[in-house]
Amino acid sequence: MNLRELSKVLGLSQTTVSRALNGYPEVSEATRQRVAAAARLHNYRPNTRAKGLATGRAMAIAHVIPVSSHHEMVNPVFADFIAGAGETYAAHGYDMMLSMAGHRKEENIYRDLAARRSVDGIIVHAPRLDDSRQALLQEIGLPFVVHGRFGGDTSGYNWLDMNNRRAFARATSFLLDLGHRRIGLINGLESMDFAARRRDGYCEALAIRGIAPAPELMISDEMTEHQGHGHCLTLLDRDDPPTALLTSSLITAMGVRRACNERGMTLGRDISLITHDDELSYFHNGRAEPDFTSLRSPVRDHGRRAAAMLLRVIGDPGCAPLHELLEADFNVGLSTGPVAATRSNPLRDARHASK
């Protein structure tokens, strides 16, 4: 059932039917009702392609998901981010297109998107420190919002990011306050902007206390459970192991916890751990008494906000670049305690006592 058929059924012109359905004022309320009823009855919906061609707007947003080249990995944060973005799109009648970068040459994906006019805007994922996409995106001139930031000057484009530097500085300070001096950092790949900022925050907090960062305690790798486990073992087996650790993902943290347990250590008592937590659906850290002391920044909410930002930019292409810097919640859980303490974490003691 297309518009012509529907208008024939109604004995009206295509113009009138189209206007009735799109809420234009120059059609009487009576016919509008009649048209709406017929449309519902015949299950009519305007053809996406035709509408897009006629209006010049695709009513679709592209998400380009990087597939980590190493082992073709796709980070589970994207699932939650996209779920959040999808909510916003659904509410505004937009479709969501997904491209997996990695199979094709990355640049081509973006150029294609722009030249084929298949979307009205792009959400850029996983910005790198030195990212060729920055210039590329400016050149092709499609509205875009970056989840995170490119390295360097960040004033010239739209982005939404959490304050990674601040978050990791706070976490590091917190550990220092607890007496820790050898603090390990099991970070994401530091070619990624977010990971670089986290390291900066970590180093900055150490510097304030006059502590030089120890290169052997700073690890940058893919954020998997497996790597978290492996790197943690390596650190623990040193002659001078760290007494506290920072991890960039809850998944890595789970690997770290497992490694610690294997070495007979309990988090919060024998070693402290603070992790960043994207609040992924399948990895709840608990609310009442969280297992991990964590920096919380719900990535699903980022998705919602980034999508909303992009729609705003599409609606007003001339507007000045939008920025949104979100602060992480610093949430104390059971995985941190004073250095060399045995029973001084009230939360943990409370839990053990209740058994």
In angstroms, what is the minimal distance from the CB of 108 to DNA? Answer: 17
118 binds DNA, rule: CB under 7 A: no
287 binds its own copies, rule: CB under 8 A: no
What distances in angstroms separate CA 125 from CA 54, 225, 231, one per listed residue?
Answer: 30, 22, 26
DSSP-assigned letter for residue 217: G
- Dihedral angle, C-alpha 294, 299, 305, 308, nearest 10 °: 180
String of contacts with DNA for each residue 41-70, x by CB under 7 A: ---x-xx--xx-xxxx--------------
33 binds DNA, rule: CB under 7 A: no
Tokens of 201: 């925050």
- H/E segment holding residue 96: strand 95-101
CB nearer to its own copies: give 34 or 258.
Answer: 258
13 binds DNA, rule: CB under 7 A: yes
132 binds DNA, rule: CB under 7 A: no
What part of residues 30-59 is at the interface with its own copies (CB under 8 A)? 43-50, 52-53, 58
In angstroms, what is the minimal distance from the CB of 206 to its own copies? Answer: 29
CB nearer to its own copies: give 98 or 325.
Answer: 98
Closest CA to 292 of 236, 248, 226, 231: 248
Query: How are beta strands 121-124 and 144-147 bridged, if at all?
Result: parallel
68 binds its own copies, rule: CB under 8 A: yes
What CA–CA distance (Å, rounded) separates 214 from 23?
65
Number of residues that bind its own copies (CB under 8 A): 62
- Is the Cβ–Cβ distance between 67 and 103 less than 8 Å? yes
What part of residues 170-229 is at the interface with its own copies (CB under 8 A)? 223-226
* Amino acid, single-letter form, for residue 37: A
342 binds DNA, rule: CB under 7 A: no
Q: Which residues contact 241 (CB under 8 A, 6 or more apart)?
A: 182, 235
From DNA, its own copies, none, which one binds at residue 26 (CB under 5 to 8 Å depending on kind)? DNA
What is the dihedral sign for C-alpha 160, 132, 203, 257?
positive
* Candidate segments 23-31, 73-81, 162-170, 339-347, binder of its own copies by CB under 8 A: 73-81
Binding site for DNA (CB under 7 A): 2-4, 11-16, 18-19, 21-22, 26-31, 44, 46-47, 50-51, 53-56
